[in-house]
Amino acid sequence: MAKSFLPLLALAALVLAPPAIAAAPGFTKLTLDSFFYAEGAAIADFTSDGLADVAAGPRIFAGPDFKTSRVYRSPHAFDRLSYSNNFLTFHDDFNRDGRPDILVIGWPGKEAFWFENPGPDRPGDWPQHLAYGNVDTESPGFADVDRDGSLDLVAGSGGRLGYMTRNPRDPQAPWTFHPITPPGQWQRYTHGVGLGDLNGDGRADLLEANGWWEQPASLAGDPVWTFHAQSFGPGGAQMYAYDVNGDSRADVVTSLAAHGYGLSWFEQIAGANGAIAWREHAITSAVPAEKLHGVQFSQPHAVMLVDMDGDGLKDLVTGKRHWAHGDKGDPEPTAPAVLYWFKLTRGPAGVTFTPHLIDDDSGVGCQFPVADLNADGRPDLAIANKRGVFVFLQGNR
């Protein structure tokens, strides 16, 4: 697959003598399947039994032990040296019948479909509906852009960035693309897209590798949003707006290069004449041979920002996408497929993201969900990628 370019370069001081990695917080790994089905997964109660399930590729693995599964669409396992037709997976109740449906983002630049959940007593494939016919970018998001209460698909299409909305009166109708940029260089393999309120006006802005697009007060007529240029690296994975240091300003958290190295948070600071400026703080280094806190890995192609330890602060969860372009196409194809969470701590000396190794034989894909799978109040993970389908149940804190 073609590699893309694109997501602030004012590097903070790097720690040259890192401490040892903190101990893992106790995760139990479950291998649900060893086949390569997809690069993304979803967590919801798809079987209507009150328990959380995992959807990965064509299969739904039933909780609480995930030992049984059913096929909800025509099954297909893929060659690990190639690619799947399922890069990301989300869920929502699209037809409002009380059951979660499944949204599959296929190959970049091709269709996205949603699969209608017919209920647990209906065997066979779920009905398939076209969501949108051309979904570009490799890290689309699923969030409410226009504040109408429905989740939208945040992505590119036809050389522009924007979002796709569904028809509330006809859930089976194809979705509508609302471009927020003029035509540009964005294409199917563009990396690094996100959504969040950066300027504190209550409206979600669109983040991308080259800067951010400020949402206007009105979206009527699909206006072009105001662009603020800023480099967030050459192009990573999902991007987030979050107040990392507690100063009431939204910062940006992202990986720098989906097929390279580096995780950073970009501190929002006051610029000249009231403008927003940025200061970069490295979490892992963009320099291949350099380790921060004893950690370095390549290809952080999927990133989640979520409170993993219940302390009220959002932590960073990511890892190495194993064989993103096969066994020879990227840096360190034979390196361990690591999965980490980085604990956010605020202190007198500033902010730290302390790495905790979850696993070294799974990694990430292009997207993964974090949710409570076993109803114990702790967030768990589901991973689908070229190494298989996995669940990580969090134990002690």
pLDDT greater than 70 at residue 227: yes
Residue 290 CA, distance from chain mean position: 25
The H or E element that residue 264 is part of is strand 263-270
Question: Are the C-beta atoms of 101 and 127 separated by less than 8 Å?
Answer: no
Condensed to tens digits (0 to 9), the pLDDT of residues 255-283 reads: 999 999 999 999 999 988 889 999 999 99
Residue 392's identity, in one-letter code, is F
Question: By mean pLDDT, which of 7-11, 61-65, 231-235, 267-271 is the weakest?
Answer: 7-11
Cα within 13 Å of Cα(225), Cβ side: 27
pLDDT greater than 80 at residue 359: yes
Query: What mean pLDDT comes out for the span 138-159?
Result: 97
Q: Of all residues in the chain, what percent carry a pLDDT higher than 70?
A: 93
Grade residue 12 by pLDDT with cuts at 50, 70 and 90. very low
Sheet strands side by side (includes 88-92): 88-92, 101-105, 110-115, 128-143, 152-157, 160-165, 176-179
Question: Are the C-beta atoms of 116 and 137 separated by less than 8 Å?
Answer: no
pLDDT greater than 80 at residue 9: no
Around Cβ 273, how many Cβ atoms within 10 Å?
5
Task: Please report the pLDDT score of residue 273 as a whole number.
Answer: 86
Nearest Cα to Cα of residue 333 among 285, 298, 383, 292: 298
Grade residue 396 by pLDDT with cuts at 50, 70 and 90. low
In three-state secondary structure terms, 272 is: helix
